Amino acid sequence: MQQTFENFKLNKQLLNAIEEAGYSVPTEIQQKAITPILAGQDIMGVAQTGTGKTAAFVLPILMKLKYAQGQDARALILSPTRELAMQIEENIQTFSKYLDLRTVVLYGGLGPKTQIENLEKGVDIIVATPGRFLDLYLEGHINVKSLKFLVMDEADKMMDMGFISKLHRILEVVPRKRQNLLFSATMGELVRKIAGDFLAFPTVIEVSEQATPASTVSQRVYFVPNQKTKLNLLQHLLKDDESFHRLIVFCKTRTVADNVFAFLERKYGKDQVRVIHANKGQNTRINSINAFKEGNIRILVATDVAARGLDVSNVSHVINFEVPIVTEDYVHRIGRTGRAFNSGDAITFCNDAEKYYFRKIEKLMRQSVDVAPLPDEVFIEETPYFERQAIAKEIDIQKRKEDPDFKGAFHEKKFAIKQKEAKASQRASGFKSNKQGPKTSTKRNYRTK
């Protein structure tokens, strides 16, 4: 028999909000996590992105808090990025539609004045990035004595972003008696360490094998020699505007993201494409994400700042213009499509220097990705000298990682050039001394005299 949300014995207000939001069948993580959370257990959940884990912890917390009470927060949800914090807060607003609960979201990138004012009005749930939460706590704007729940969402990303010391500081100040929930897409060493400090005898919920992409996402990779050819391939794929109706293009760096955006903007116009990365102002990023969510723009170009917490339904494709160096980020990127039982496509463009990282990604996922041939219509550009050099240098670094004794093509080339120069100089000096020997010696004799 298929499980429904009514099986969790949630109150009528929550069930009405869930139904109005269009949810009827709980996802696997929701089926496994909601009941133990309602029973007061500490949870360590390992679930890939796009599986509905936000609702898996938000719904039982709302059920247990029920209504506004006192002045201080009773639940603290920590998120690695402001985008994810805003996404969680949006979920809370959706599900607490008929509940009298007050939520405040705290993140950096803009002045804290409004956030402080919201806290002073009274709060039940705080959703925050670790840095901004600590700042406002240390300034005396947050009282943690009433905390009953502490949630760490996307714990692996928090570790990648270097939040471990801030998280330990938060663990020092919050009450010892509380319910702890930790969710992560992958379970690396640092996540295990914080989990050990954070959780005592947790119930472990693993929805699928670690770092496996959602089964609704089909994947393929194109081996492309250089950036210009990648742009040609991207343009070729986007001709099919019926299939590629809403897509995210991921880049490693802001510079590449800006270049890809400029290229797409020239081709498709300002009203079709936006770019988000760490250099963009907070309001610009929020407006771009909202425009994409509402279907007002077709293409969103982004760095990994948007790889998590960007919950947009019906994203048809994720295109990895560049292969991420942090292998787990691949799973998070492609998790932006194929969400909530929908199907999606993930396409990766990979040059010779990126093959090393792509092999690591396949190893992490324990599956190989189909290689697609470059379409005949895609013009293959010649790789410029500087890009050839950069690729060769990167391949040398990779080989050195695998074999510390490897000297590298660059090293060998330089050595060969130096040897050549030394021989040439020896020949030249030998020839010079033979030719000018007598004169030099006469000069020397003259000087000694």
215 burial via Cβ count (<10 Å: 0-12, 13-18, 19+): exposed
Contacts of 185 (CB under 8 A, 6+ apart): 46, 47, 48, 49, 154, 156, 210, 211, 328, 331, 332, 335
> What is the pTM (predicted TM-score) of this model?
0.62
- Delimit the domains of the chain by residue range: 5-206, 217-383
Per-residue pLDDT of 32-90, as tens digits, reads 999 999 999 999 988 876 678 899 999 999 999 989 999 999 999 999 988 889 989 99
Mean local confidence (pLDDT), 24-35: 90
DSSP symbol at 289: H
Domains 5-206 and 217-383 equal at CATH topology level: yes
Contact 293, 312 (CB under 8 A): yes
- Name the fold adopted by 5-206: Rossmann fold (3.40.50)
The structure tokens listed for 109 are 């990138």
Mean pLDDT, the chain, rounded, equals 85
Question: Taking the alpha carbons of 81, 83, 133, 331 in that order, is the dihedral positive or negative?
Answer: negative
Neighbours of 50 (CB within 10 A): 26
- Name the fold adopted by 217-383: Rossmann fold (3.40.50)
Beta bridge partners of 76: 126, 150
Q: Which of 64, 80, 91 is nearest to 147 (CA)?
A: 64
Name the more confident of 430 and 323: 323
Per-residue pLDDT of 385-433, as tens digits, reads 999 999 999 999 888 887 777 766 655 555 556 666 666 666 666 555 5
Per-residue pLDDT of 156-167, as tens digits, reads 888 878 888 999
DSSP helix/strand/coil, 237? helix
